[in-house]
Amino acid sequence: MCSVCGCGTATIETTRKAGTPDHGHHHGHGHDHTHDHDHDHDHAHSHDHDHVHTPHGALDYGAGAAGAHAPGLTQERMVSIERDILSKNDGYARENRARLADRHVLALNFVSSPGSGKTTLLVRAIEDLKDKFDIAVIEGDQQTSNDAARIRATGAPAIQINTGKGCHLDAHMVGHALDDLPRQEGGLLFIENVGNLVCPAAFDLGEAHKVVVLSVTEGEDKPAKYPDMFAAADLMLLNKSDLLPHLDFDVGACLAAALRVNPRLQTLVVSARSGEGLAAFYAWIEARANGAKAP
């Protein structure tokens, strides 16, 4: 699924030729790189693309829809397929998961509405954890490399994926971003999804856990309004707790709404600004990172 969202404008700064939708992954990869960086492809993506690699390692999905029109008529017949619509994405997700497991990297997929403070939270977490872990980041946004620039300021490598009109990251984009990141042995991969409480829920990227970030300025009924995302997540961070004294936000009601949607959800109240609750978040990460390291 190269031209994500059908909009024809997602960017990992990577280029697919129209009309050849064969996505078999095999060695020997042939996309047109408009730049020169070191690809440590231990699994090569040998397929045609809709995205252009641009100088900063961002991936750009900007080409139009593919179309292979084969004329010719034979008699009609019914063909039973029985294939899940998301099977392709899920296949790429499995590849990503296997690569990450092979390298003992713990991957977390951060999902939230726009403005919940994901990037600030990640910047803070990187600063606090970088002595302990090798950390890399994949940033997803419709446009701009602003977030990747903020991450790189911490010293951590970051790949920006611009989805164009797309409303979520998919596993295929993340696979390419993994190609372009420095190879990690152990450590953490933070994937910051496109700010959107709906679409990213359905797309497995190969992460170990989805972490949903909700901020206290958003209203406590968000889990009830957007249940799919809270159902898909394993951890909820209720962020911006430093603002609680100024708001009528009911933390208990919010957590109850989240747990109704997903009884297994773990929840932490945090503030990326004041640091409240972050120690517990880091402990949560550490416990799982050590798990990823174990053989």
Q: Which residues bind other proteins (CB under 8 A)?
A: 1, 3-7, 21, 23, 65-89, 166-168, 170, 198-199, 201-203, 227-228, 231, 260-261
Closer Cβ to other proteins, 73 or 294, answer by number = 73
User: What tokens does 137 get?
Assistant: 């980041």
- The least CB distance from residue 171 to other proteins, in Å, is 11
**Alpha-carbon span 84 to 136, nearest angstrom:** 32
DSSP states of 242-290 as a string? GGGGGS---HHHHHHHHHHH-TT-EEEE--TTT-TTHHHHHHHHHHHHH
Task: Give CA–CA dist 95/101, Å, rounded.
Answer: 10
Q: How far is the CB of 41 from other proteins (least distance, A)?
A: 23
Nearer to other proteins, 50 or 218 (CB): 50
Q: Which is nearer to other proteins, 1 or 272 (CB)?
A: 1
| 89/184 with CB nearer other proteins | 89
Nearer to other proteins, 207 or 278 (CB): 207
CB of 119 to other proteins, least distance (A): 22
How far is Cα 62 from Cα 52, in angstroms, rounded to an integer? Answer: 7
Q: Which two tokens stand for residue 92?
A: 């790429």
| Nearer of residues 6 and 155 to other proteins, judged by Cβ | 6
Minimum gap (Å) between residue 242 Cβ and other proteins: 31
Strands 188-192 and 209-215, by their bridges, are unpaired
Half-sphere exposure of 229 (CA within 13 A, CB side): 25
Taking CA atoms, 53 is separated from 33, 167, 180, 213, in Å, by 6, 20, 10, 30
CB of 258 to other proteins, least distance (A): 11
What is the rounded radius of gyration, in angstroms, for the C-alpha atoms of the chain?
Answer: 20
Output the smallest distance, CB 286 to other proteins, in A: 31
